[in-house]
């Protein structure tokens, strides 16, 4: 070791400095190792990304009919509370209610009564883009026998977890009042059909609930009307009866009772995930950085061993 090198090693100020030329030389000398490791990561990322299943996302933009059609009923809310009857919620309350219905376990339990919904959610394997057919995992579900291979049919609670975490996304823009619902699945056809089913059944359940509530309220109001002789109270009850009749009429007349489609569900043409290009780029960059770090560690480790000798 020369005197200048000894001086550099004994100088604390110079020990912390990085010689860029030296680093470049070390990296250049180890270029074969760097290229080899980076290539392994790049090829591995390509193979891995190609093995991943494509997912497709169907989306629908809606507005609640409550905020449009039921606002006129708000004038009767005070009278309704006095007599113990209920009117359909409007505005923000209606949006929150229908969103919670769609996310609820009971709603998932209801959806599972439709054919092929459970296996499509819990046992999908692949989708044939040519035949537009969804294939099931035969180790889980046998479509010919319509039976679960393991013998254990997934419960609606287990299905609900998959539904909430992997399939459904629902959000509400408080500024515009618009509701966005998306369904993601390996089958773009099922994604569209299932989203349509969700919207239709949410409307049906909300409509049935409104009709049943209205019928019960009408029965109650008729009893109250027959039990009072005071003219002002009779007039108030008649107004509530009118409101309930209006509610029942709207529920029976409108298929889109709660959710009105602005943008209907569609069959997506482009996958939503995986992002294969991003996976390959990130893996290649990681492989390159890791290989350069290994080259530097190897160089300085060998250098210390040689100096120790």
Question: Per the domain annotation, does 106 fall within a domain?
Answer: yes
Question: Per the domain annotation, does 29 fall within a domain?
Answer: no
- The answer to whether the predicted template modeling score (pTM) of the entire model surpasses 0.85 is no
- Which uninterrupted H or E stretch holds 214? helix 188-227
Question: Per the domain annotation, does 125 fall within a domain?
Answer: yes
Question: Per the domain annotation, does 16 fall within a domain?
Answer: no
Question: Per the domain annotation, does 229 fall within a domain?
Answer: yes
Cα separation of 85 and 216, whole Å? Answer: 9
Domain count, the chain: 1
Nearest 5°: the CA angle 255, 121, 119 is 105
Question: Per the domain annotation, does 35 fall within a domain?
Answer: no
Question: Per the domain annotation, does 274 fall within a domain?
Answer: no
CA-closest candidate to residue 276, choices 42, 58, 57: 42
Question: Per the domain annotation, does 305 fall within a domain?
Answer: no
Residue 1 confidence class, pLDDT cut points 50, 70, 90: very low
Structure confidence at residue 210 (pLDDT): 75
| Angle of helix 276-308 versus helix 20-29 axis, rounded to 10 | 110
SS3 call for 42 = helix
Q: Give tens-digit pLDDT for 120-141.
A: 999 999 999 888 899 999 889 9
- Which uninterrupted H or E stretch holds 58? strand 56-64
- DSSP type of residue 155: P
Domain containing residue 134: 56-263
Structure confidence at residue 209 (pLDDT): 80
> What's the average model confidence in pLDDT over 238-247?
72
């Amino acid at each position: 070791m020369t005197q200048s090198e000894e001086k550099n090693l004994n100088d604390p100020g110079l020990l912390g400095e990085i010689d860029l030329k030296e680093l470049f030389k070390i990296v250049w000398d180890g270029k074969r190792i760097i290229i080899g490791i980076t290539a392994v990561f790049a090829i591995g990322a390509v193979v891995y990304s190609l093995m991943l299943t494509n997912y497709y996302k169907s989306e629908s933009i809606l507005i609640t009919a409550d905020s449009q059609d039921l606002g006129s009923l708000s004038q009767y809310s005070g009278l309704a509370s006095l007599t113990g009857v209920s009117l359909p919620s409007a505005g923000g309350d209606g949006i929150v209610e229908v969103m919670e219905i769609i996310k609820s376990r009971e709603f998932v339990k209801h959806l599972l009564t439709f054919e092929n919904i459970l296996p499509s959610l819990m046992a999908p394997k692949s989708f044939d883009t040519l035949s537009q057919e969804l294939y099931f995992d035969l180790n889980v579900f046998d479509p010919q026998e319509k039976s679960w291979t393991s013998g254990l049919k997934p419960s609606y609670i287990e299905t609900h977890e998959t539904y909430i975490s992997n399939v459904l996304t629902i959000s509400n823009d408080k500024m515009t009042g618009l509701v966005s619902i998306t369904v993601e699945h390996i089958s773009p056809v099922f994604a569209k059909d299932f989203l349509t089913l969700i919207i239709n059944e949410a409307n049906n359940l909300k409509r049935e609930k409104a009709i049943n509530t209205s019928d019960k309220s009408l029965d109650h109001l008729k009893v109250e009307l027959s039990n009072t002789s005071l003219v002002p109270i009779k007039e108030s009850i008649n107004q509530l009866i009118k409101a309930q009749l209006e509610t029942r009429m709207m529920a029976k007349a409108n298929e889109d009772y709660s959710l009105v489609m602005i943008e209907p569900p569609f069959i997506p043409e482009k996958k939503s995930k995986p992002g294969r290009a991003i996976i390959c780029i990130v893996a290649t960059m990681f492989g390159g950085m890791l290989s350069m770090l290994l080259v530097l560690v190897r160089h300085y480790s060998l250098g210390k061993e040689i100096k120790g000798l």
